Amino acid sequence: MQMMSKEKAKRYYRNMSQLIFNQEFRTEQDCYEWLFKNRWPGGFRCPFCSGQEYGRISTRGLYQCKSCRKQISLITGTIFHKTRVPLLKWFMLIHRMASSKTGVSINEMKRELEIKDYKTVWVMAHKIRKAMADRDARYSLSGLVELDESFFGPAGSGKRGRGAEKKQLVIIAVSGWKHTNGTEHPGFAHAFIAEDASAETIEGLLRRLGILDIQMEPFIKAIRTDGWRSYEKIAEKLGLIHYRAVLGNPKDAAKILTWTHQLISNAKAVFSGPHRGVSQKHLQRYLSEVCYRFNRRFWNREMFDRLLTACVSTDTITRNELMVGSI
Ligand SMILES: [Zn+2]
């Protein structure tokens, strides 16, 4: 490919990706074939007896091993488990969620996928978000980590004073990486809803993200914050270097803590756009989507393949579990 501007390259990849999708996935069978190849890249292998001979029981991805006679479903252990929606529609939604910058509108997808029930599409999107969150949960933060807090909440709750109470506190952590020329750039991000910004809460978070064990050398070596006393306490307790960005005016935070604020502004765009009015109960999953996208912002074309792989590598979440917000 010839040199092209960054903007042009972005458009090229997005169009190309849609084109490839439409060519590769035309029928239900194409989707099952993708699942088959993803599960058994070297050909069928029975998970029970390692047999390699199989019979096809149904066109919906059900196989039977010829040696032990056990049945294997391609969609068990994936987010498609027990779905009644055709896989092609799932794949289309995954593709749209992977290529969109701020997330998709459920109403729009409902029309595109020709699914009558709003809730069905809503649940599908949340299952995909869960796959995103599960995938990112595997990654630790390391080196220098920038930390900051922000508030997100239902639209319209921005009334002064009382309104602020309705918003949910979110802690954002972004680790950096060093370019060979010595400049530092934001790398991987996590964002979590939190009850408070106490030292205990933040310590728990850091332990989960990159300080595995007191005996082990921590992945996280240093933190950069606005100097809030909770951070001060934790840095001391965990023996981390603490860079305090001293803020005269809180509005300057975006200029000094640029990594976390890049993520915060992405999230604000999502919550003022396609996902306006997200309830606190589901906020974490939308944040996971924002982080997933942020963490893969340079991938472009690979996004769909990676997200599809994440979707078939994780268990599903049921509609009931979603409603009670247990995950
Ligand atoms: Zn077998």
Q: Ligand 1 centroid vs 52 CA: distance in angstroms?
A: 8
Q: Ligand 1 centroid vs 314 CA: distance in angstroms?
A: 23
Q: Ligand 1 centroid vs 27 CA: distance in angstroms?
A: 29
More confidently predicted of 254 and 138: 138
Q: Ligand 1 centroid vs 217 CA: distance in angstroms?
A: 44
Assess whether pLDDT exceeds 70 at residue 70. yes
Q: Ligand 1 centroid vs 317 CA: distance in angstroms?
A: 28
Measure the N-to-C terminal CA separation of the chain; round to a whole number of Å.
Answer: 44
Q: Ligand 1 centroid vs 306 CA: distance in angstroms?
A: 29
For position 280, what pLDDT does the model report?
82
Read off the amino acid at residue 82. Answer: K
Query: Which of 148-162, 241-255, 260-274 shows the lowest per-residue confidence on average (mean pLDDT)?
Result: 148-162
Assess whether pLDDT exceeds 80 at residue 268. yes
> Which of the four pLDDT bands, split at 50, 70 and 90, describes residue 67?
very high
Assess whether pLDDT exceeds 50 at residue 29. yes
Query: Which of 14-18, 236-240, 260-264 shows the lowest per-residue confidence on average (mean pLDDT)?
Result: 14-18
Q: Ligand 1 centroid vs 37 CA: distance in angstroms?
A: 18
**pLDDT cut 70: percent of the chain above it:** 87
- Helix orientation angle between 118-136 and 280-295, rounded to the nearest 10 degrees: 60
Q: Ligand 1 centroid vs 72 CA: distance in angstroms?
A: 9
For position 212, what pLDDT does the model report?
57
Assess whether pLDDT exceeds 70 at residue 15. no
Q: Ligand 1 centroid vs 55 CA: distance in angstroms?
A: 11
For position 259, what pLDDT does the model report?
93
For position 1, what pLDDT does the model report?
39
> Would you mind telling me the total number of residues written for the chain in this entry?
327
Q: Ligand 1 centroid vs 68 CA: distance in angstroms?
A: 4
Q: Ligand 1 centroid vs 66 CA: distance in angstroms?
A: 7
- Cα angle 322-119-325, degrees, rounded to a multiple of 5: 15
What average pLDDT does this structure show over 205-224?
76
Contact 104, 307 (CB under 8 A): no
pLDDT digits 0-9 by tens, 303-322: 788 888 889 888 887 777 77
Q: Ligand 1 centroid vs 74 CA: distance in angstroms?
A: 14
Cβ contacts of 51 within 8 Å, gap of 6 or more: 45, 65, 66, 67, 68
Mean pLDDT computed over every residue of the chain:
84
Q: Ligand 1 centroid vs 259 CA: distance in angstroms?
A: 50
What average pLDDT does this structure show over 191-204?
92
Q: Ligand 1 centroid vs 64 CA: distance in angstroms?
A: 8
pLDDT digits 0-9 by tens, 291-304: 998 998 877 667 78
Measured distance CA(61)–CA(39) in Å, rounded: 12
More confidently predicted of 220 and 246: 220
Assess whether pLDDT exceeds 80 at residue 325. no
For 292, half-sphere exposure in the C-beta direction (CA atoms, 13 angstrom radius) is 30
Q: Ligand 1 centroid vs 40 CA: distance in angstroms?
A: 14
**pLDDT cut 90: percent of the chain above it:** 49
Assess whether pLDDT exceeds 70 at residue 215. no
> Which of the four pLDDT bands, split at 50, 70 and 90, describes residue 2?
very low
What average pLDDT does this structure show over 247-259?
79
> Which of the four pLDDT bands, split at 50, 70 and 90, describes residue 327?
very low
Q: Ligand 1 centroid vs 136 CA: distance in angstroms?
A: 33
Q: Ligand 1 centroid vs 36 CA: distance in angstroms?
A: 16
pLDDT digits 0-9 by tens, 145-182: 999 999 987 655 444 444 444 789 999 999 988 888 88
For position 12, what pLDDT does the model report?
47
Q: Ligand 1 centroid vs 261 CA: distance in angstroms?
A: 52
What average pLDDT does this structure show over 250-268?
86
Cβ contacts of 16 within 8 Å, gap of 6 or more: 301
More confidently predicted of 202 and 276: 202
Q: Ligand 1 centroid vs 65 CA: distance in angstroms?
A: 5
CA dihedral 273, 139, 210, 271 (to 10 degrees): 10
For position 324, what pLDDT does the model report?
64
